[in-house]
Structure formats: structure tokens, C-alpha cells
């Protein structure tokens, strides 16, 4: 099969994994731990996709850097240990990743999660086998800076025009644009799809099976 693209890079939270409810819960719990009025659901959903320090700066701009450092630690503890909110994959994700691999695509992850957080979820699921590379916000620049994608393209030897960036937020779309790669939007994540259309994604899909259909033509 002659392919238009070689590398498909996925955002994680809100694109592959339905984790928004857990992120909201943990962020609100971290705020309560420090006696801070917790942000609302929509406020937290707005920052999903950013690196944790950048997310906390947006959510708690009036707090000191010292307090935000404590909030970061509290959030991480809640996410890893205390909060039991279920975080399933979106429908068709596991099957879709396997099919893309079968079709010969190279797959990677570019996420606002920490390296520890991504490694934890990869170790607790069976999808790590599908990815040839990954970048996390605490080991490079946070979205929408293009550095994650530049590093992945360099590591996996792929030109920008041969790369798809699949995500559910404006941060993903803007990062793709900044890196010169091709954006793909998913409609089921945390940012309204109308916002994503402003970046003129190559595809906008409602579920993984639709992406597979586009890429198997």
C-alpha cells in the first residue's frame, strides 16, 4: 500500500484515554488539600494537555510558585495512589493501534503527562508495544511548543509532511501547526470541535475506526 503518511503521533489524555474525569477530580482534591477553592470542571478540562507546571500556573495564577509546587506533588499523589476514577481507553483504541501497526504505520505519543505517569499507564495496559517513541512534557517543552514533535521526527527519521498529529485540544492542533506536521482532530475530547476546526485539521474523526478508515485507503 502506498501511504501518504508514515508516522502517526497521538496525544494521550482525551485522545486515547478517557481520563478527563480523573484529572478534574485529582486537581480539585489537590486544591482542597491546600485550603484553596477548587477550580470547576470546565476550568480543569481547559488545561488538559499542558504540562502540569503550565496547567497549575493557569489554574492558580495568584498562588506562589512554592504553593504550585506543593499542588503539583499533591495532584501526582492523588492520580497515582488515591483517586480511583476509572480511565478506560476510548472505544476502538486498542484495536485501532494494532491495525495501524499492521498497516505499517510508525506510532508515537506526545503528551502533557509526566514520564513517570506515561510509563505507569503503559505498564498497566497492553498498548505500549505499539509505540516506537514518546515524549512527555517534563522531559521537553510543553505543548503547544513544537519541540516534542521535532524530537520525535528526529528520533524516528520522518519528515514533517509525512507526520500526523492526532489530538483533542487546541494545544495539539497548534503544536502540529508550529512543527509543520499535519493535524488530525478528534471530536470527543475536552475542547469543542469547533475550536479544533479553526486549525483546519486534515481529518476530524468521531472515533478511532474513522481514522483507520482514512489511513487504510
Beta carbons within 10 angstroms of residue 129's beta carbon? 10
Residue ranges covered by each domain of the chain: 7-18+89-215, 20-82
Residues 6+ apart with CB under 8 A from 173: 165, 167, 183, 185, 196, 198, 199, 201
CA dihedral 91, 94, 95, 100 (to 10 degrees): 120
8-50 pLDDT, tens per residue?
Answer: 999 999 999 999 999 999 999 999 999 999 999 999 999 999 9
Residue pair 107/130 in contact by the 8 Å Cβ criterion: yes
For residue 62, name the pLDDT band (cuts at 50, 70, 90).
Answer: very high
Q: Which CATH class for the 7-18+89-215 domain?
A: alpha beta
| Active site members | 11, 13
The structural architecture, per CATH, of the domain 20-82 is Orthogonal Bundle (1.10)
115-164 pLDDT, tens per residue?
Answer: 999 999 999 999 999 999 999 999 999 999 999 999 999 999 999 999 99
Average pLDDT score over residue span 66-79: 96
80-103 pLDDT, tens per residue?
Answer: 998 899 999 999 999 999 999 999
Check residue 112 and give its pLDDT. Answer: 96
Check residue 97 and give its pLDDT. Answer: 98
How many angstroms separate the CA atoms of 33 and 196, rounded?
34
Residue pair 31/38 in contact by the 8 Å Cβ criterion: yes
Amino acid at each position: 500500500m502506498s501511504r501518504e503518511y508514515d508516522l502517526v503521533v497521538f496525544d494521550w489524555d482525551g485522545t486515547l484515554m478517557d481520563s478527563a474525569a480523573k484529572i478534574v477530580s485529582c486537581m480539585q482534591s489537590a486544591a482542597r488539600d491546600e485550603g484553596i477553592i477548587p477550580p470547576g470542571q470546565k476550568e480543569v478540562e481547559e488545561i488538559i494537555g499542558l504540562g502540569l507546571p503550565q496547567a497549575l500556573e493557569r489554574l492558580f495564577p495568584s498562588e506562589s510558585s512554592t504553593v504550585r509546587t506543593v499542588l503539583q506533588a499533591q495532584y501526582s499523589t492523588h492520580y497515582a495512589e488515591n483517586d480511583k476514577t476509572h480511565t478506560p481507553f476510548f472505544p476502538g483504541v486498542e484495536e485501532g493501534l494494532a491495525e495501524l501497526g499492521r498497516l505499517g504505520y510508525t506510532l508515537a505519543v506526545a503528551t502533557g503527562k509526566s514520564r513517570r505517569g506515561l510509563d505507569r499507564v503503559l505498564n498497566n495496559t497492553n498498548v505500549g508495544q505499539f509505540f516506537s517513541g514518546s515524549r512527555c512534557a517534563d522531559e521537553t517543552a510543553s505543548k503547544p511548543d513544537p519541540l516534542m514533535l521535532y524530537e520525535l521526527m528526529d528520533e524516528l527519521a520522518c519528515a514533517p509532511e509525512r507526520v500526523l498529529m492526532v489530538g483533542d485540544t487546541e494545544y495539539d492542533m497548534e503544536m502540529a501547526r508550529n512543527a509543520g506536521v499535519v493535524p488530525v482532530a478528534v471530536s470527543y475530547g475536552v475542547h469543542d470541535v469547533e475550536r479544533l476546526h479553526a486549525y483546519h485539521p486534515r481529518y476530524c474523526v468521531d472515533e478511532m475506526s474513522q481514522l483507520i478508515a482514512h489511513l487504510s485507503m
